[in-house]
A and B are shown apart, each in its own frame.
Chain A
Amino acid sequence: MNQVYDWLNSTAPTLLRDIKDVHLNILVQNIDNMKGKNVSGLKRFGKVTGTTAHEAYTNLATREALGVPLHRLSTCNGPEYYAVSEYQEKEPLLIVSPDPHPLREQVLGQIARALPELRIQVIQNLSYEDFRKVICIAKWSLTFGEGLDGYFLELVFSGGVGFAVFNDRFFTLELLNWRPSILPGRL
């Protein structure tokens, strides 16, 4: 976002010269990425708003921290876009997000030792179409990322059981209260 600010700062006099109404909307997809961002600086170019992807940080505190109107948008996704495959149709496969985590190798090593029959596949260099095929057959997923992300959600929508690193910045209270499948963040 700071790059956009710098870009606008240098190009606005010509770029925005003939534009009557300028509305800049920030896609707040990851609240952790908003730290240190010059949100209020954008106001000099026009109207500024923010739309959020996760319920957990769509609140007054975020609105006040950003200093611009905040709107709950979420993502255009839902269970109706997925076919559920039953336990019997699934394979002993654990798909893993590629996100970094300090204990990532330790956790994966422990899983591999404890469950040698389980195949572990890190999702990388895979088209989205192929990802959709994999989540149909995978029994399990483990995300080291935001938690309430595609590795978790899309697997659950496809009939699988997802595990995630505990993260109170992305999971809703309802999910946090029911978290047997969510690993503690500080392992």
Chain B
Amino acid sequence: MDKITVDIRRLDEPVAYGQYWRRAYDLVSNLYDPDQFRENLRKFYRGEYTFP
């Protein structure tokens, strides 16, 4: 349970923080894309479901 406090201490300096943030940022940015959302919405109204 003390992992979070260890992580915060370890990451609380500019270089480690920046590198760690970038990895998380890239991973979640790949999951959320407004253009993809709009395309998903178009497909929904066309009845082109992911799992019909």
Q: Give A residues with C-beta under 8 Å from B.
A: 49, 51, 55, 58-60, 62-63, 69-81, 84, 86-88, 92, 94, 103, 106-107, 110-111, 114-115, 118, 139-140, 142, 148, 152-153, 156-157, 159-163, 172, 174-175, 178, 180-181, 183-184, 187
Q: Which residues of A contact B32 (CB under 8 A)?
A: 74-75, 77-79, 153
A-side contacts of B4, CB under 8 Å: 107, 111, 142, 163, 183
Whether B51 lies near A79 (C-beta < 8 A) is no
Name the distance in Å between A109's Cβ and chain B's nearest Cβ.
10
Q: Which residue of the partner chain A has the closest CB to B44?
A: A71
B1 and A107 within 8 A (CB): yes
Main secondary structure of the interface of A (DSSP, over half): mixed
Instruction: Name the residue of chain B whose CB is nearest to the CB of A112.
Output: B5
Q: Which residue of B lies closest to A54 (CB)?
A: B31
Query: Please, how many angstroms separate the alpha-carbon atoms of A86 and B13 in the complex?
Result: 11
Q: Is the CB of B49 within 8 A of A161?
A: no
Interface size on B, residues (CB 8 A): 37
Docked Cα-Cα span, A170 to B42, in Å, equals: 24
Determine whether the beta carbon of B17 is less than 8 Å from that of A161. Answer: yes
Nearest CB in chain A: distance from B3 CB, A: 7
The 24 listed contacts between A and B (C-beta, < 8 Å) are A51-B44, A55-B31, A70-B50, A71-B43, A71-B44, A71-B49, A72-B50, A73-B41, A76-B38, A77-B32, A79-B32, A81-B34, A84-B25, A87-B14, A106-B1, A107-B4, A111-B4, A115-B8, A139-B17, A142-B4, A161-B20, A174-B30, A180-B7, A184-B3
Which residues of the other chain, A, contact B21 by a CB distance below 8 angstroms? 156, 159-161
Docked-complex contact B1 and A72, CB < 8 angstroms: no
Contact A156 B28 (CB under 8 A): yes
Distance of A121 Cα from B5 Cα, bound (Å): 16
In the complex, chain B residues whose CB is within 8 Å of the CB of A187: 1
| Distance, CA A49 to CA B9, complexed state (A) | 46
Please give the distance in Å from B37's CB to the nearest CB on chain A: 5
With A107-B4, A110-B2 known to touch, is A78 a contact of B25 (CB < 8 Å)? no
Chain B min CB distance to A156 (Å): 5
Q: What's the nearest-Cβ distance from chain A to residue B20, in Å?
A: 6
Query: By the criterion CB–CB under 8 Å, are A172 and B31 in contact?
Result: yes
